[in-house]
Structure 1
Amino acid sequence: GKEQNANKALKWLKDGRELVQRAEDKRLLIAGTDRGKNHKLIELIYGYTEDAEVSAEARLVVFKMADLLHRRKRPVPAEAITALKLIVADPASDAATVKRSKEILEKAASTKAPKKRIAEKKADIMRNWQLAGPFSGAEKLFLHAFIPETAAGEVTWREVTDADFSGDQIDFMKTMKGANRVAYVKTVIPTKRARTARLELGSDDGVKVWLNGTLVHEKDARRECKIGDDVLSLSLVEGQNQLLVKVVQYAGNWGFGARLALTP
């Protein structure tokens, strides 16, 4: 029947994926699945959503499949949920796609999550940071570029220790009391080859993230720190990757936390 034929096609595509290495071949494979309506294809394409060469194409295909499942009132798989979060977090995503992705995510959050079809690589809590701050005195803290962003002067950094943490989050209020201030933390992500990584972070309040000097994420918000509120796909280069994070505090608590998962 149709289900048996679809399963055969899926197996053929999975077997063929192991032979696909070039970016143009990956795009052909992804384009081929775009014409399919078998939701099991999400399993196949999910692995490409954090592949820097074809992530945009893969996320769009997963979005279309998730949208189709949602319209049919069927559960959206966990891997599709993760891909939709990446779409929402990516500043380059189309506005209409972001809006629809948010609608699907809101609906999925209000229903029972489906059982994962594939094991997602576990993200590890990041605890090795250096800290600088506090910085203040600017009218618009989120927009103002303090010295750690500009490298226009000397910055005093210190190691973040276990005493700075409350659970899995850095609690800046332990050492820097007050309101309307900014702290910076930085770390190095080493890798022996170019690869992608998933960065899950939370901040209280606003946050900006730079990877190797390039701004890759910004969120001006007044919120509690919940790791996983923001999910980024990082394109790492071979060697030492410099990660810099700015955390703005307007009032109340002040914290930051992150998890990182490298692609296999």
Structure 2
Amino acid sequence: MTEILTQDNIPLRYVIQGSGPTIVFVLGYGMTLDEWPGRMISTLATSFRVILYNHRGVSGVMNPSVKFTIPQGARDLYDLVSELADGPVHIVGYSMGGMIGLEFAIRYPDLLDHLVLISSDCGGSECITRDDRVTEEMGKELPDIEAYLERAGRLLLTESFRKKHPDPMSWFVDHGEVADPRSVIEQYEAFETWEGVYSNLHEIRKPVLVITGDRDIVTPPQNGAIIADAIPGAELVVVEDAGHGVIFQEPVRVGNIISRFLS
């Protein structure tokens, strides 16, 4: 296992694939680095040096004095970039990872080259919130992996995709390490209590791409337009008939969209 240490000595597991300009992928809620869609990552690793890493606590090592928050996630990302890159990097943040990407862009602009936000929002009162029933569903503890898989399919994937792919085992084919449950609880509290960065979005002067699915029920797609309108020159791509899990529904397509943007 390859790790870097944060400033408070918490190990962050990471892997590197490919060579070229560096892209750092920032995980969404409850994920581990093994869960990034392999076909999306391999599409990009042909032209880029791709770094995947785990958030603090995911692998079980936690610091009771330093909770995981969205700003803390940006500080951990700073530690990772400082250790593994020689200069500015491309950041790709999915869902909660996009929130961390926005914090990083505002706090550490000199370390950012391009920013890609997928299925994310800017937080605060300006963002469009999900239905209460979706929030309630996300916070439930379930009895077994099959129940978690079924819920993930309902929340992340469109009904038409599930009908086309009726075997749940085909929905999320890339997996390995399982996130420590304590870290998942901290992450949930982190994005639910995040104050957001809407008032600072105009400060971001690097190229930004926002990708959203038009049927996202976890992060309503209007949030993509809110971010893109507030960041000077930002580009918005809306993927039709895609949910919050657009990266799982369309891994190669999303990889190609990112590649074209970064190139």
Smaller-chain TM-score bracket? under 0.3
- Which has the greater radius of gyration? 1
TM-score (norm 1): 0.26
TM-score, structure 2 as length reference: 0.26
**Higher helix residue share:** 2
- The structure with higher relative contact order (CA 8 Å, sep 6+) is 2
